[in-house]
Chain A
Amino acid sequence: MSDTTKLVFGAVLGALYVVIGLFQIIGAVIGPLPGFDAFYLTGNLFSGFVLLVVGAVFIAGVRKLAAGAGEGAIFVSVGVLLSVAFGLVELLALCAMGVDAYLVGEWADWSAADSMNPLLYLAVIGAVGFLAWGRTFLRGLSAA
């Protein structure tokens, strides 16, 4: 994948992470924002912070790529790894909550939507980047 593609990909994902992260933090301070139910913005200060961090890594990479610095691609790649890693954290949490609901006999009342988090669905986009170039990057890293 070319640096231009990484630049565009990083810019889009970075902007999404930053905007949704800000909404999460604002929601934590003043309460859930009306009209954003579809985005599962539960208003959580800490997950908002994590969203901002991942977004900042993407944005830093995009800025470097835009300035012609090749290492910007590394920032985008690490952003993708972080995106997928936090997505996995939320996926595991979601599964654990489902299993727990089953164990305590509340399976019928449980819905995955209740435990949905922006870190999870944004990681789906991150996973596209991971499949495109993240795996190669990770292999190179672990072999280094």
Chain B
Amino acid sequence: MKREIRIALTGNPNVGKTTLFNALTGSRQHVGNWPGVTVEKKTGKASRNGFEFEVVDLPGTYSLTAYTADEVVARDFILEERPDIVVQVVDATNLERNLYLTTQLAELGVPVVIALNMADMAEAQGNPIDYRKLSAFLEIPVVRTVGTRGEGLKDLLDAAIREAETSLHHEHTIGYGNETETMIASLADALSADGDLAGRYPLRWLAVKLLEGDENVLAKVRGGPASTRVEEILSRIDPDEYEALMADKRYEAIAAVLPQVRKANLKEMRPSDMVDRVVTDRYLGIPIFLALMWGAFELTFTVATPFMTAIDAAFAWLAGFVAGSIEPAWLASLIGDGIIGGVGSVLIFLPNIFILFLILAILEDSGYLARAAFIMDRPLYALGLPGKSFVPMLIGFGCNVPAIMATRSIEGEKDRLLTILVNPFMSCSARLPVYILFAGVFFPEQAGSVVFFLYVLGIVVAITSAKLFRSTILPGEASPFVMEMPPYRIPTAMTALLHMWSRGSMYIRKAGTITLLGVLVVWFLASFPYGVEYGSAESFAGMIGHLLEPLVAPLGFDWKVAVALIFGFIAKEIVVGSLGTLYATGEETLPAALLADPGLSAATALALMVFVLLYTPCVAALGVIRKETGSWKWTGFSVAYGLVVAWILAFVVGHVAGLFMGGM
């Protein structure tokens, strides 16, 4: 029978943890959420030498001090779930910062194995790490790994097996100096009165955390038998002072080890640093970033075109087959006009979605996106947004739901709220089909540039809104941002494809669920009351559309667009799906039907794309906004503000474009 070993994979952000997780578990993965919080939980399976491993990928964290939701999740899992082995993924090119977390793990007394990752890069930089010596110093197994190439994985699992099989684990202590050690001893003594706590956690670790002012640990002590004495001791000290002092001591300990396990840095600048001189240049950094983004959208639009043509042809054939072979007529209409017309017009954009995600994965894996965050920090900070908000904003290009969840890494409450409120303006992938459809139909020669313009407009509206909120409803100063940039890497095809799939497959799932449901509702509304012409003004859809038409008529939209926009509230893809259903005109494709509609022009199309970019977040995003802000007031504000901004800008853009192109 196979013995099971549970491994918790932890480490700083950007150390190749997820790459290692993917390499260890391959396709045997499950993605969910940690209970009670909106931090992604990834688990996977691996096997080796008769052992079955359950690998849990913990959120990236710099320490176990539990300031952010990610840190709390990582720490609670290690403390409460007690995995058999904690594998800390350490970036060999940035040993000092990474070993800080090691000192905290070691203090916990949990069995740790270190995966010394990116060891090849450290060697290429002339900084090879003597991992055997490091292991001897730390008294922790250290395995050399290169996650991107899958090197060292077997050794890592073997080390985990050995550690799991041995019962010899002990806490590693760092000497914090006489005065601090006396305080630690007093607190540990006081804590020993609480048998329950003493049975669950190392007393020294609890004492250290209390001295650091860890609210999470203090909450565990409060109300217990040790509470009074502990609080009496803590009332005599300044936790900030102790926290700084203990951090210094940990770094001193690390500094003592480092010179003995690695060679000194080369005096010459690394090629990575040299390139950073250019791509993070004060004047050239942002233009280079924008140029690369343009390239990404140019590729997203053009390279996908033949794939779209093929999918379009397949759906056209399917629709023709259904129309000619299914009876009764209402069923043929349901399947042909409703399901195939609606879902088909959404699925046709699958190649665009996958290509965009592939490009973003390549940029992320190469290390460039970290530079983009760095160069955007200065303008964001100047506009009142915390630099850390750039990462959730970038994630917003994929989907606003995880992007809003990702704001949990932002400490300041106002900073976080600000980032949540402006995040829906970052154009998520669900809006891309609308752009591609209308840009392709009305701006065939410059479609990529039009899509790029919309993404840039979303960013501009987001940061302008942030500036507005910062000077009105959320006054204050943004928190500064300190980040380290990972070295450049040539992304591997497998990693990039896995990233692309994990993000892009969500689009397929939505097409088969919420989009399908949405287009079925639209089909029903377009087909009834019984006897009316499908999609006519007399149908329920027509009635709803005509009711709303006065609101959108100044923007140049007719009732069909009004209906599509209403259903886009459920999910933005449904705008296209609804149009596909409402414009279902036999053999004619949706682009041809749109082009033939005299009510639509290039200027109207531009206004519509701007409206879809900016108007209310979808239902899922609103649910997350409600959850993360804990307030219906802010959720309602997000809807109202988005609608007002969308209406005004669509009106302005449409009419200005109309002056040049006509048609408004």
Interface, chain A (partner B; CB < 8 A): 42, 44-47, 49-50, 52-54, 56-57, 60, 71, 74-75, 78, 82, 85-86, 89-90, 92-93, 96-97, 99-100, 103-104, 137, 140-144
| Stretch touching chain A among B210-218, B272-280, B550-558 | B272-280
Cβ of B310: which chain A residues have Cβ within 8 Å of it? Answer: 103
Known: A46-B294, A86-B291. A144 touches B278 (CB 8 A): no
Give bound CA distance, A104 to B305, whole Å.
11
Cβ of A96: which chain B residues have Cβ within 8 Å of it? Answer: 302-306
B481 at the interface (CB under 8 A from A): no
Give bound CA distance, A96 to B291, whole Å.
21
State whether A71 touches B277 (Cβ < 8 A).
yes
Interface, chain B (partner A; CB < 8 A): 120-121, 124-125, 270-272, 274-275, 277-279, 281, 283-284, 287-288, 290-292, 294-295, 298-299, 302-306, 309-310, 313, 445-446, 448-449, 452-453, 487-490
Cβ of B281: which chain A residues have Cβ within 8 Å of it? Answer: 60
User: Would you list 14 pairs from A and B whose C-beta atoms are within 8 A, ordered by A residue?
Assistant: A50-B294, A50-B295, A56-B284, A74-B275, A74-B277, A86-B291, A86-B295, A89-B295, A89-B299, A93-B299, A93-B303, A96-B306, A103-B306, A143-B271
Cβ of B272: which chain A residues have Cβ within 8 Å of it? Answer: 141, 144
Cβ of A97: which chain B residues have Cβ within 8 Å of it? Answer: 302, 305
Known: A46-B453, A96-B305, A100-B309. A57 touches B288 (CB 8 A): yes
Known: A56-B287, A93-B303, A137-B271. A103 touches B309 (CB 8 A): yes
Nearest CB in chain B to that of A141: its residue = B271
State whether A142 touches B489 (Cβ < 8 A).
yes
Cβ of A140: which chain B residues have Cβ within 8 Å of it? Answer: 271
Nearest CB in chain B to that of A95: its residue = B303
- If A45-B449, A99-B306, A144-B121 are given as contacts, then 19 extra A-B residue pairs at C-beta distance below 8 Å, sorted by A number, are A44-B446, A46-B448, A50-B295, A53-B290, A60-B281, A60-B284, A71-B274, A74-B278, A92-B299, A92-B302, A93-B302, A93-B448, A96-B302, A100-B305, A100-B306, A100-B309, A103-B310, A143-B121, A143-B271
Give bound CA distance, A71 to B280, whole Å.
14
Nearest CB in chain A to that of B450: its residue = A46
Known: A103-B309, A141-B275. A53 touches B121 (CB 8 A): no
State whether A46 touches B302 (Cβ < 8 A).
no
Give bound CA distance, A62 to B295, whole Å.
25
Instruction: State the Cβ distance, B595 to closest chain A Cβ, in Å.
Output: 15
Cβ of B489: which chain A residues have Cβ within 8 Å of it? Answer: 142
Known: A49-B291, A53-B288, A140-B271. A75 touches B303 (CB 8 A): no
Known: A57-B278, A100-B309. A49 touches B271 (CB 8 A): no
Cβ of A143: which chain B residues have Cβ within 8 Å of it? Answer: 120-121, 124, 271
Cβ of B125: which chain A residues have Cβ within 8 Å of it? Answer: 144
Give bound CA distance, A82 to B121, whole Å.
24
Give bound CA distance, A50 to B448, whole Å.
13
Cβ of A82: which chain B residues have Cβ within 8 Å of it? Answer: 288, 291
State whether B490 touches A142 (Cβ < 8 A).
yes
Instruction: State the Cβ distance, A50 to closest chain B Cβ, in Å.
Output: 5
State whether B490 touches A46 (Cβ < 8 A).
no
Cβ of A90: which chain B residues have Cβ within 8 Å of it? Answer: 298
Give bound CA distance, A105 to B449, whole Å.
26
Residue among B125, B303, B304 with the highest chain A CB neighbour number at 10 A: B303
Give bound CA distance, A1 to B614, whole Å.
50
Give bound CA distance, A56 to B290, whole Å.
14
Nearest CB in chain B to that of A137: its residue = B271
List the 6 closest pairs (A to B, CB-CB), nearest first: A93-B302, A143-B124, A46-B449, A144-B272, A99-B306, A78-B278
Known: A71-B274, A74-B277, A144-B125. A89 touches B298 (CB 8 A): yes
Give bound CA distance, A57 to B283, whole Å.
10
Nearest CB in chain B to that of A54: its residue = B291
Instruction: State the Cβ distance, A73 to closest chain B Cβ, in Å.
Output: 9
State whether A74 touches B274 (Cβ < 8 A).
yes
Give bound CA distance, A142 to B449, whole Å.
31
Give bound CA distance, A45 to B304, whole Å.
22
Instruction: State the Cβ distance, B220 to closest chain A Cβ, in Å.
Output: 45
Instruction: State the Cβ distance, B120 to closest chain A Cβ, in Å.
Output: 8
Instruction: State the Cβ distance, B498 to closest chain A Cβ, in Å.
Output: 20
State whether A75 touches B299 (Cβ < 8 A).
no
Residue among B291, B445, B452, B489 with the highest chain A CB neighbour number at 10 A: B291
Nearest CB in chain B to that of A64: its residue = B277
Cβ of B490: which chain A residues have Cβ within 8 Å of it? Answer: 142
Instruction: State the Cβ distance, B304 to closest chain A Cβ, in Å.
Output: 8
Give bound CA distance, A78 to B488, whole Å.
13
Nearest CB in chain B to that of A81: its residue = B275
Give bound CA distance, A75 to B274, whole Å.
9
Instruction: State the Cβ distance, A101 to closest chain B Cβ, in Å.
Output: 9
Nearest CB in chain A to that of B305: its residue = A100
State whether A78 touches B279 (Cβ < 8 A).
yes
Give bound CA distance, A103 to B310, whole Å.
8
Cβ of A89: which chain B residues have Cβ within 8 Å of it? Answer: 295, 298-299
Instruction: State the Cβ distance, A36 to closest chain B Cβ, in Å.
Output: 17
Nearest CB in chain B to that of A76: its residue = B278
Cβ of B120: which chain A residues have Cβ within 8 Å of it? Answer: 143
State whether A49 touches B121 (Cβ < 8 A).
no
Instruction: State the Cβ distance, A117 to closest chain B Cβ, in Å.
Output: 9
Nearest CB in chain A to that of B296: its residue = A89
Instruction: State the Cβ distance, A74 to closest chain B Cβ, in Å.
Output: 5
Give bound CA distance, A74 to B271, whole Å.
9
Cβ of B294: which chain A residues have Cβ within 8 Å of it? Answer: 46-47, 49-50
Give bound CA distance, A119 to B295, whole Å.
11
Give bound CA distance, A93 to B296, whole Å.
11
Cβ of A54: which chain B residues have Cβ within 8 Å of it? Answer: 291
Give bound CA distance, A50 to B449, whole Å.
11
Nearest CB in chain B to that of A74: its residue = B274
Give bound CA distance, A104 to B591, whole Å.
15
Instruction: State the Cβ distance, B300 to closest chain A Cβ, in Å.
Output: 10
Cβ of A92: which chain B residues have Cβ within 8 Å of it? Answer: 299, 302-303
Instruction: State the Cβ distance, A109 to closest chain B Cβ, in Å.
Output: 15
Instruction: State the Cβ distance, A76 to closest chain B Cβ, in Å.
Output: 10
Give bound CA distance, A90 to B374, whole Å.
28
Give bound CA distance, A21 to B295, whole Å.
15
State whether A141 touches B309 (Cβ < 8 A).
no
Nearest CB in chain B to that of A138: its residue = B490
State whether B284 touches A53 (Cβ < 8 A).
yes
Cβ of A45: which chain B residues have Cβ within 8 Å of it? Answer: 449
State whether B290 touches A49 (Cβ < 8 A).
yes
State whether A53 touches B291 (Cβ < 8 A).
yes
Nearest CB in chain B to that of A136: its residue = B271
Give bound CA distance, A86 to B121, whole Å.
27
Nearest CB in chain A to that of B281: its residue = A60
Cβ of B270: which chain A residues have Cβ within 8 Å of it? Answer: 144
Instruction: State the Cβ distance, A3 to closest chain B Cβ, in Å.
Output: 14
Give bound CA distance, A137 to B488, whole Å.
12
Give bound CA distance, A133 to B125, whole Å.
20
Cβ of B309: which chain A residues have Cβ within 8 Å of it? Answer: 100, 103-104
Give bound CA distance, A93 to B277, whole Å.
30
Give bound CA distance, A45 to B305, whole Å.
22
Instruction: State the Cβ distance, B404 to closest chain A Cβ, in Å.
Output: 30
